[in-house]
Structure formats: C-alpha cells, structure tokens
Structure 1
C-alpha cells in the first residue's frame, strides 16, 4: 500500500490540510484546492471589504442579486439555522463586530478597550429571503451576515468531493479542524486526531486528545477556548447565542461530532455549545456520534462515538 501524501497551507484565515491516497495527485489537488478556496474567500469572507458577502451589508431592505456560489453558501447556512431552531444563525454579523471580532482573528486585539454589551437578539434567519432560482437575497435593513459557523465546513465538503472526482483517489480536506473525506479511504479509514487545543496533526498533542477513524462524511469540532479575547476585562469568544447577541455560556469547552457531511457535523457541534446542558440529549435524539468535553476536562460521549481507544486523560 502506498503512503499517504499531505500538504499544509493557510486559507480562509485558518490552517488548511490536504491528504491524498495517491501521492502522484498531491500537487495537482493542492493547486485546485488553493484556487477553489481563494474563490470562496473572495465571495464569502466577512473580513474583506471587497467580498461579495460584504457588499450585502448596505443592501438591507431590498432584493439584491447574488452569484451562484454565495447562494450555495447562504443556503447551507439557512439550512443549518432551520435544523437547529436558530441556534446557528447567519445574521450574527453585527453582534460579532460589537464583540470586537470584526477582522481576521490573527488581527483581533487580544485585550482591547471596554465595550458596552447589550442583550439583544440578532435579526434572525427567518427574515432572510433567499431565492436561488432567481439568484437574489432579501434581508432586513442593518443585517450583517456571518457564514463562519458553516462556510469552512461546507468548503471542505465541496473541495473533498471535487478533488476525489478529479483525481480518482481518496481525499481528506481539513479547514481549521473541519474535516471532510471523499473517494476510496485508506485501509482502516481516515485516522483523525481529536483534541481540545488546536495543533498540527503531525506534532504531539497538547492537552486531552483521542484518535478516531472515519470512512466517509465529515468530522468537526467547535469550542469556546481556541478563539478568545478580552474587552475591558471581559472574556469573549466567537460562539454567539443568537437570542442574546453575546458569547454563549456553556458547560462545554469543545464538542466534536461526526455526520454525513462536515457541514452537518459543524452545525451540530456549534449548536451543542449553544444548547449548553441540553446538548447531550439533543445529540442522542439525532443519533449523532459526539464527544463532549466539559470545562473541567471530563468527557462524555453519545451512542455511536468510537470507544476502541481510551482518551489520554482517562488512561492516565
């Protein structure tokens, strides 16, 4: 069996990783992936003033033409909102800006000036009218969209399928930890390390971790500890409760979910953080394999999460 081949680079403001089962296709797949992600960034970035998404900031209240790619990305976001009863809502853009997350996270001031936080629900996904057949969207005035909860996972799904079809080999695409696979997997499946503290998969893990194998679909981890900053002594993170417009208060520091697609996995892992104590039973009802790590480091798993290998924190 030939060894897997991997490439790492930055894209969409995060670490991107591409793995293929046929090393001969690595360079071509990387070129296609970087080109595709550059197009998605130019279309869907909240942090680029020249993106198509940013152009909608001043379009509230009127029907606006949009391209097919943005229409697809927004459709995924609205489907996630519907599936989670609004726990994952793309209209949180203004709330994110008010919290200080108004630029690529590498540029966010880690200890900025105080902000006055007001409990205020976001405009709401139900008020966004997307007509993909006509290629238009209509939103309330003052609405700013943020596709961060779904766009990377959707991009990983899209890219994995595209590259597997183009190369004829197995493909794994990971964007900031949102991982999608397609094509024929390697023997034993794709081995993916799940960890609480983000790190390179080829380097020793920092903090609790475990390894699982998947053969299809996607795996995603959402958490409140990776992207944190302070405003006037107040701790902030990037998971916003749409009902308050403020960072969620949750007993979980990370939630990892496996699903039929990476977009579905990330939708569920993000919604689980918002649902707080109710997350476990909700994931069980959906029959989604999940690993939830509490703020004290304790781990619980839903039915279906692999049990073959114990987590390091339990084995110690």
Structure 2
C-alpha cells in the first residue's frame, strides 16, 4: 500500500501584467508570499510606487501575524490551539474561544444545516481514522468496528455556539475546520487590505482566492481552474471571480491506494467512507471565501447529480468537472456563467 500526499493548488494564478513606474504611471504591482496552514500563500496588489517597498514589508508582517493567529485558533495540528483544546476537553460546559473561531464554527454549522449534514466539521474522527488528519496513515484499512466507533463520535447536532463559546453534548466530539478555516484566512487578509484602502488585490492561500478590483485598467484578475489529473499541471477553464471569494475542492491530488483501490481524503459523514463517484472537482464563487470553501466541499460530497441540483436550488455559482469514459465533462450553473473567460 502507499499513500500520496501532495500540497496542491487547485487554482493556478495566471501571470499578471506588471504596472510600470514612470512619470505618467505611479502605480506598481506588489507581490509577496509565505507559508501558512501547511500550504503556500501568495498576495498581489496594486499600490502607489512611492514608498511601496517599505509599506509592503510592514503589511507582510501584519499578514503573517494574522495568519499565525488563525493557526493558533483553529489548527488541529497544534495541540495548544483553541480548537485542539476544545477537542481535548470532555466537558459539556461552554468553552470560550475567540470571536473568529466562534464565527467559523457558526458558519460551518449553518452550512451543515443547508446541506443536510453533508458538510460536517465533526467528521474529524473519521478523517483521522482514514489517515488524512494529524495522526496520518494507519497501517491497514479501518475495520467495520473501527468505523462504527468513529461514527459514534460524529454529529453536527452535538455542536453549538453560544456567543463566543463552543458547546459539545458528546464528550468525544472532535471538530476539524479544514473545510472552512483556510477560506476564513483568505477573508481575513482581504479584509485587512480593505482596511488599508487597497482597491485592487488578489489573495490566495493553498488555492482558495479572494479578488477585488483589477490588476490594471484594461483587464480583470484571471484565474485558471486546474485540469483534474494527478500527473501534470494543466488548465481546464479560465475564470474571473471579480469581487468575490473562490474555492475549489477535488480528490485527485490527496488520496491513498491499496490493492488497486483509490481512497479519497474527502470523507462522507453519512457512510464514514471516502467518496466514490465521478465528480472530481468543484469550484464555487461566493462573496465570502470561507463560505465558498465550505460549499465546494459540500457539493463534492453530494456527487454530480445531487450537487448540481443543490447548487441550482440555492443559486450558487458552481463549476463541476465530472469524469467520463471519454475524459472530463464540464457542468456549471447559470450563476457561474458571468465568471467564465473565453480562452483565446
């Protein structure tokens, strides 16, 4: 058996034209990058050329601090994070956390409710059992009894938020915010740039994106949805998210194989098993990257037919890539059409 873990970007940011600095043009494109939540982040924005380097250095310090705070709040890989301490607690008493953690948990619960429980952030015991959490890969596939034991610890109905306090009614409850926290991190940085009066930016963390404005007066920010193949990096479709967040969920770069069978990292809370259907990639555009992050995973869990019906019923901008016998089929909702970019 072997396991394949690849740190991947579902979205490839295309090259953006750099605004020159001259007497007639005092705007310049600023880029910097770093690492957070186990993935790389990239930030590009347009700024006045004068003193832009010093301003960018100061902003990067603040951004790294903001992302470090999100990790300290919501990481399951840190034993001393707020979320890990809540997971370690066996008390049913309210557990006070930061407003940010309470916000992300509240939105996760809301998304669980509208998706009939498909997005379930209490699925952590199953994720860990299958080897896609901090505990990493087990030596053998879970037994039916191990699956049943893990599922007994899962259930969004056991989790609630009261103000800035999390409450669990199942002492074994384990919350994993990996489906919403990264998108929240994107929103956090975008909101900071808004506060800095940056009118044009592109923020990306591990493939989740939020965009605002334009890189220059003649074009929008353009993003590429990646072709869902594990052996190459290629473009499936160009899109322009405009002033929105964007997230992609896929099962083609994080999985393991045993005896020729492939096991996705996306675990269905209803069955306790990795998903097994023809939908291989889902991209969602929404004003909130946190919400787009959760919705992309939700639709991925539902599968092609149910996922498309859900997206249409809720008027969600969704782009789906479905594996067929002849390659890949693209399906998208009417709400997604305005964001498509014709390749030339």
- TM-score, with normalisation over the residues of structure 1? 0.85
CA distance in 2, matches of 1:57, 1:299: 39
Query: Per the alignment, do residues 17 and 26 of structure 1 end up closer, same or farther by CA in structure 2, a change over 3 Å counting?
Result: same
* 1:275 corresponds to: 302
The Cα of 1:295 is off from its aligned counterpart by 2.2
Give matches, 1:72-221, under 5 Å.
72-103=103-134, 108=136, 113-118=139-144, 120=148, 121=151, 123-132=154-163, 135-182=165-212, 184-186=213-215, 187=217, 188-196=219-227, 206-221=233-248
1:260 aligns with 2:287: yes
Please report the RMSD computed on the Cα atoms of aligned residues, expressed in angstroms: 2.5
1:40 aligns with 2:70: yes
SS in 2 for 1:37: helix
CA distance in 2, matches of 1:176, 1:51: 21
Aligned residue-pair number: 299
The Cα of 1:235 is off from its aligned counterpart by 2.6
Give matches, 1:58-73, under 5 Å.
58-68=88-98, 69-73=100-104
Match of 2:322 among 294, 298, 304: 294
Unmatched tracts of structure 1, length 5 or more? 200-204
CA distance in 2, matches of 1:35, 1:212: 31
The Cα of 1:39 is off from its aligned counterpart by 1.0
* 2:37 corresponds to: 12
Larger Rg: 2
Query: Per the alignment, do residues 3 and 298 of structure 1 end up closer, same or farther by CA in structure 2, a change over 3 Å counting?
Result: farther
The Cα of 1:181 is off from its aligned counterpart by 2.7
1:222 aligns with 2:249: yes
**For residues 257-292 of structure 1, what are the alpha-carbon distances to aligned partners after superposition, in whole Å with 9 as ceiling and x for unaligned?**
111211222222111111112111221222222221
CA distance in 2, matches of 1:166, 1:4: 16
The Cα of 1:167 is off from its aligned counterpart by 4.5
SS in 2 for 1:241: coil
CA distance in 2, matches of 1:49, 1:114: 25
1:309 aligns with 2:342: yes
Q: Which moved more, 1:90-99 or 1:232-241?
A: 232-241
Checking the alignment, whether the CA contact within 8 Å between 2:255 and 2:263 is kept in structure 1 is yes
CA distance in 2, matches of 1:154, 1:247: 25
SS in 2 for 1:4: strand
Checking the alignment, whether the CA contact within 8 Å between 1:20 and 1:26 is kept in structure 2 is no
The Cα of 1:15 is off from its aligned counterpart by 1.8
**For residues 23-65 of structure 1, what are the alpha-carbon distances to aligned partners after superposition, in whole Å with 9 as ceiling and x for unaligned?**
6243333222111111111111111112121112232342142
The Cα of 1:233 is off from its aligned counterpart by 5.9
Query: Per the alignment, do residues 60 and 198 of structure 1 end up closer, same or farther by CA in structure 2, a change over 3 Å counting?
Result: farther
SS in 2 for 1:190: coil
CA distance in 1, matches of 2:159, 2:121: 9
CA distance in 2, matches of 1:5, 1:161: 17
Checking the alignment, whether the CA contact within 8 Å between 1:179 and 1:220 is kept in structure 2 is yes
The Cα of 1:174 is off from its aligned counterpart by 1.1
SS in 2 for 1:247: coil
- TM-score, with normalisation over the residues of structure 2? 0.79
SS in 1 for 2:196: helix
The Cα of 1:307 is off from its aligned counterpart by 4.2
